[in-house]
Amino acid sequence: MGSVWSGLVPEARAAPSAAYNWRNVVTGGGGGFIPGIIFNKKQKDLIYARTDIGGAYRWNAVTSSWIPLSDTTGWVDWNKNGVDALATDPVEPNRVYMATGTYTNDWDTNGQIMRSTDKGDTWQVTPLPFKVGGNMPGRSMGERLVIDPNKNNILFFGARSGNGLWKSTDYGATWTKVTQFPNPGTYVQDPNNSYGNDIVGLAWITFDPGTGTAGSATQTLYVGVADKENNIFRSTDGGATWEAVAGQPVGYLPHHGELSSNGNLYISYSDGVGPYDGTKGDVWKFNTQTGVWTNISPVPSSSTDNYFGYGGLAVDAQHPDTLVVATLNSWWPDAKLFRSTNGGATWTGIWDWDGYPTRKLRYTQDISGAPWLTMGIEPIPPTPSPKLGWMIGDLEIDPFNSNRMMYGTGATLYGTNNLTDWDSGGKVNISVMAKGIEETAIMELISPPAGAPLLSAMGDISGFRHDDLTAPPAKTMSVPAWSTTYGIDYAELNPGFTVRVGMADYSADANARSVGLSHDGGANWYKASSEPTGTKGGGTVAVSADGNAIVWSTSDVGVYYSKSGGNSWTASSGIPAGAKLASDRVNPNKFYAYSAGRFYLSTNGGATFTQTAAAGLPSSGAASLEAVPGREGDVWYAGGNENPGPYGLWHSTDSGATFTKLANVQEADGVGFGKAAPGQSYMALYVIARIDDVRGFFRSDDGGASWVRVNDAQHQYARVTTITGDPRVYGRVYVGTNGRGIVYGDPVGGTPDPDPVKQSTISPTSSSFDKKTANQADITVTMTLNGNTFGGIKNGTATLVSGTDYTVSGSIVTLSKSYLAGQPVGTTSLTFQFSAGTSPVLAITVIDTTSAGSGNIKVQMYNGSTAAAVNGVNPRLKLVNTGTSAVALSTVKLRYYYTIDGEKPQSFFCDWSHVGGSNVTGTFVKMATPAAGADHYLEVGFTSGAGSLAAGQSIEVQARFSKSDWSNYTQPGDYSFASTGAAYADWSKVTGYISGGLQWGLEP
């Protein structure tokens, strides 16, 4: 029998609870691998997503966001956050099951099947006699856990580690091994690695619903096994007996198997199980009626163009011959999706080469939900930024809506709601659909007394400056660039100075650095001029109170200090390699260190350390070392482990000469500080701890004499990693998790103090600008900083250039008329950025009173690429009928003016249009009299097949042109070029004509 599991723990006796509201610090994109997405086949909009270390989620159709389902997972049962498989009941949609357990190696415990009858709001648990690998190789294969679509009390689960196939007949409460199943798998990813040397086992299970009736068990099942020689098995008697399917392909591993309603089993194969590997593969179709196997690979493994293998695969439930398959890992130039509407006979790629390095895209991509997904990387054709993804191990089409598709990547969840436009020559709109998923692993958090309320050091995506806890950051900490930031600190008395350390990729850049510095609180970063010789980075870092000294405990070459802002480094003496560091928050000469039960003190900025007489500290286990702001010599240590011990929380008020262990804290793994409670002079303490046999997050307002628990059974977040309070908001606490991102809590009913952020303002907040030459004038803006620093101006995602687009003198910003003259007619919104608080916006109404064509049409435009040098110009044109009667499109001409920059034959392409690309024409005209920014123009016209444009309606033309030798055009300065903007806006520098008469725009 299964045991009931709800995450409940005994109520604390000495530590009462305080009611808190908990929520995530928003990144908007998830930030981690999404190995599985599961649609319910009976109830519309019932969708689940599983993660490898962050639990599971359920889709909220009302808010288009995801609801976390695993936050009741506690400290001890942390491995429930690794979800290796998930099944949603096709008969009773309220039922959902998960196979959980994070690792199959010796550092984890056995796994479990978790079952719910309320769509995951609460769970019951059946322990398994083996381990489950939610974060192991092959975790995006699937699904391994399935429900009989005809008799839903029956479930099957495919295990790892050679444990074979298991079956339940009582809704997952008990499980029995199917001993007749012949092959538990043989493949291991890396036999020489302690992580990758386990058998991957069974990869997926698929029922044939047509071989059963409601209430009677389905008779035919297929199982895919991670084995390169013998991997597809079938049972025709409900799983009693099994045989290998005859004629099956060999040499690759079956990643996904999907059975269409017309009897074809589609299988994606790769030579690796993923998520990181896979360099070859195929897609096969097995006709279950005839027994015929057909290789239907979009790019077969025999081709030199196949360097990726195949992963995610989906069949349209409403159109069984329609399917989409993804490359498992096409690292360059980007991932690729392929779509077929004829059962794999022919395929269309979501992008194709169009003359290297140009690619023809059949998609648009919107990352406004998580703009940091560019990872700070600029696109360099043919490599885009952002990418469509990587590690695309699962891809699903909504069984109720052929237009909706979702797929998981290594960093986010993407999707589309217009998938079928692909089939008619349109573009699929790919956007971030990860709202609510927060899956990052947090290494460290800091909450400075000024600037942004929070900065994070994260695994895989580096980290962020969080100016707004409720909105996705615009960018990661990407200069210098590395995947994981291991440590971060700021100067307490100069909080704008911040240092972080990671592990740079020296193979990609010999001049890379693993230490980054910022003088504006993490808004902008630069790499240090040097670093300790031979280091690969990592470790921890501490900054002196005044910012004049940095001490870095590297992961490999010991402890070093710099008193030159990172320009030079010298080895510290008297301190062991790998020591944990902290700086005194008052005295800039003091640094503290801990290593193997010993405590060390430096009084000369980290140059030398001396072991103190402190005794009784743990010799191993967790170690969190923090010094209290505003109190010299006041240090806290949380750490240790149960075996051999000790374990708990220690306090020193004499710079570590002695420590006192707090008797009221049984175990502690992290400590931090926040604003003092009203009437208190000592900062609030926050700990990750066990107090009175209760694991949780606790706050003390009296220096540790008494504690209140600030989380509850519904907000545990498994084994969390770091904790800190907010020095500007009493009661607010930030907690870093290992797979659920950053969560923060505020007392229920309490209003956050108004003092942490003083808002900067600008005046005016609205203005106007006339593009007519005689009327052009600079715009002057006055800033009231209120203690913040000015950080620049943005127009959408584009950053204005100081000294060119604007100048700053004291608190006065002058916007250049030359910059404003380049903005389109309409409203231009300029966002002023400051070191803290909200970002005020200046709304500028741009008009043009120059005599211009005025008729029954107008043209809106933006450039698909705004790079300075491009080998293809991409004007995106929208023609609007502003009149009262229809216009025959064959009478309309549009002109885009530019300089050719080296005369060569040119080619015109219409990538897409509402009227069909074949009905759009392009003609190149060399101007008899060149004008400023123009010696040629492209004239876009329409054939009679384009028909008419009704009054009030519009059409789009996605045009492109290039030179025969693919040499570059230089776009800045071209008359019609729009240097900013990624959306349609009125553009008078593209002219429009009807029957030869100017109806819109200004000719150069």
Catalytic residue numbers, as ranges: 52, 460
| SS3 state of residue 726 | strand
CA distance 989 to 1001: 6
CA distance 715 to 20: 10
β-strand 176-177 against 165-168: which pairing, if any?
Answer: antiparallel
CA distance 636 to 668: 11
Residue with tokens 């007392």: 747
Residue 511 phi/psi, 5° resolution?
-100, 15
DSSP conformational letter for 916:
-
- Number of Cα atoms under 13 Å in the Cβ half of residue 273: 29
| SS3 state of residue 696 | strand
**Number of other residues whose CB lies within 10 A of the CB of residue 790:** 18
Dihedral of alpha carbons 812, 816, 819, 821, sign: positive
Residue 166 phi/psi, 5° resolution?
-125, 150
Determine contact, residues 205/149, Cβ cutoff 8 Å.
no
Which residues contact residue 753 at a Cβ distance below 8 angstroms, ignoring those fewer than 6 apart? Answer: 675, 728, 729, 730
Residue with tokens 């998830």: 30
Q: Secondary structure of 68-90 in the HEC alphabet?
A: ECCCCCCCCCHHHHCEEEEEECC
CA distance 533 to 410: 33
Read off the tokens for 383.
């490599």
Asked whether the bond before 184 is cis by omega within 30 degrees of 0, the reply is no
| SS3 state of residue 459 | coil
Residue with tokens 């609205």: 766
CA distance 327 to 334: 9
CA distance 222 to 286: 11
CA distance 505 to 605: 29
Which helix (H) or strand (E) is 992 found in, with range? strand 990-994
CA distance 322 to 314: 9
Which stretches of 201-343 are assigned E, i.e. beta strand? 202-207, 221-225, 232-235, 243-244, 253-259, 264-270, 283-287, 293-295, 310-315, 323-327, 337-340
Query: How many residues are recorded in the chain?
Result: 1004
CA distance 903 to 965: 10
CA distances from 741 to 21, 54, 71, 154, 697 (A): 16, 8, 12, 35, 16
| SS3 state of residue 958 | strand
Determine contact, residues 893/992, Cβ cutoff 8 Å.
yes
CA 858 from centre of chain: 39
Read off the tokens for 419.
């998938």
CA distance 802 to 63: 39
Determine contact, residues 156/146, Cβ cutoff 8 Å.
yes
CA distance 606 to 573: 8
DSSP conformational letter for 728:
T
